[in-house]
Amino acid sequence: MRRFAATSAVAVTLAAGALTVVPAQARAQDQAPDRPSGMANCTATACHFDIPPGTYDVKVLLGGEDAARTAIGGESRRALLPETATAAGERVARSFTVDVRTPEGEPTGPDGSPGLDLTIGGPAPALAGIRVTPARHARQIILVGDSTVCDQPGEPYSGWGQQLPRYLRKGLSVANHADSGDSTVSYLADQRLWGTVRSRIHPGDLVLVQLAHNDKTTDEATYRANLQTLVAGVRERGGRPVLVTPVVRRWFNADGTLNNGTALLVNGLGVDHPAVVRSVAAAEDVPLIDLTAKTKALVESLGVEGSKALYLYDEKRDNTHTSAHGATVYAGLVRDGLVDQHLVPGGAVRAGLSPAAGSASATDGGRNGG
């Protein structure tokens, strides 16, 4: 993305629905005086901030003279703020927390561009103000997974982890370390994957693990042991592991059900991956988000035709990887699981697209708080 000059003399802040200018020397003591912040770093469609890797709070002021609908994405095609409506002349403040890292997308992919890059989208975008500051008390949600979870680098692909940030409010950041093509075996063996994740876990962080799609030749004992290793490693660092069963493949029986090994992730050795995940979660007293059960029920309810939009069937004849719409819906199911398991408070998440909705966008209405 295009780069923009950093501002060092002033910081733009949002207050009482208007932009105010605060002298640099009046900033918080621990904020670097050259920390870029404000509209000088933005065009109508993008912003760039020259900041080092870390966790940052972003506060935006949305709206303009005309009615607007604005969404914000960033880094490697992450959805950071859902489409938000503002009436003509209205200004609405929203905040979110973002993980800035290198590589900025998949851990085994290219580094990407340094700093924080944001995209200003939506059918009628209007950004009136922005401020980026280091996050003081953010809690990480770290994702360990495969291509159905990861920050997919190119359209039309999207992992549910790529869409999860849009559902979270300020104070929760998603550090997506999922990687395409990885099994429990390869993830544990690669220093760029588990070696990196383990070093970045802080006490209190949630670590969501969804690995199964590529364990096609992993025997049950090894698969179970690998899950236990991941759980133990998270706990050793003071984090809280959460096991997630894999999303289903869209593979229907003649009777309209998904009751077959292909759809429900039973590998060639007869290993029932979701069943093993459930068993390990129970034995290790680990919270479980049963995404297999949730996605099976949803796909079956939509049927052969209606479920195509969740996957890349029309674009790629792909019944495993999700579209942006499908990833958004599945991320909503993960959000619901986090709340239902009391892993995050209900006030820390945003409402959004319901699982049965046909729309491909989630809206935040404009008046439901930060």
Amino acid 353: pLDDT: 61
Q: Band the pLDDT of 363: cuts 50, 70, 90.
A: low
For the question of whether the overall pTM of this predicted structure is more than 0.75, the answer is yes
54 in the Ramachandran plot: left (φ > 0), alpha (ψ -120 to 50) or beta?
A: left
pLDDT value, residue 361? 44
Give the pairing of strands 311-312 and 318-322: antiparallel
Please determine, for residue 47, whether its predicted confidence score (pLDDT) is greater than 60. Answer: yes
**Span 176-208, pLDDT tens digits:** 999 999 999 999 999 999 999 999 999 999 999
CA nearest neighbour of 171 among 70, 95, 242:
95
Q: Which pLDDT score is estimated for 196? A: 97
- Residue-by-residue DSSP string for 212-245: -TT-TT--HHHHHHHHHHHHHHHHHTT-EEEEEP
pLDDT at residue 355 in the model: 52
Reported as a single tens digit per residue, the pLDDT across 133-151 is 999 989 999 999 999 999 9
Average the pLDDT over 101-124 and give the result.
Answer: 96
Region of 49 (left: φ > 0; alpha: ψ -120 to 50; beta: rest) is beta
DSSP class of 335: H
Position with higher pLDDT, 10 vs 175: 175
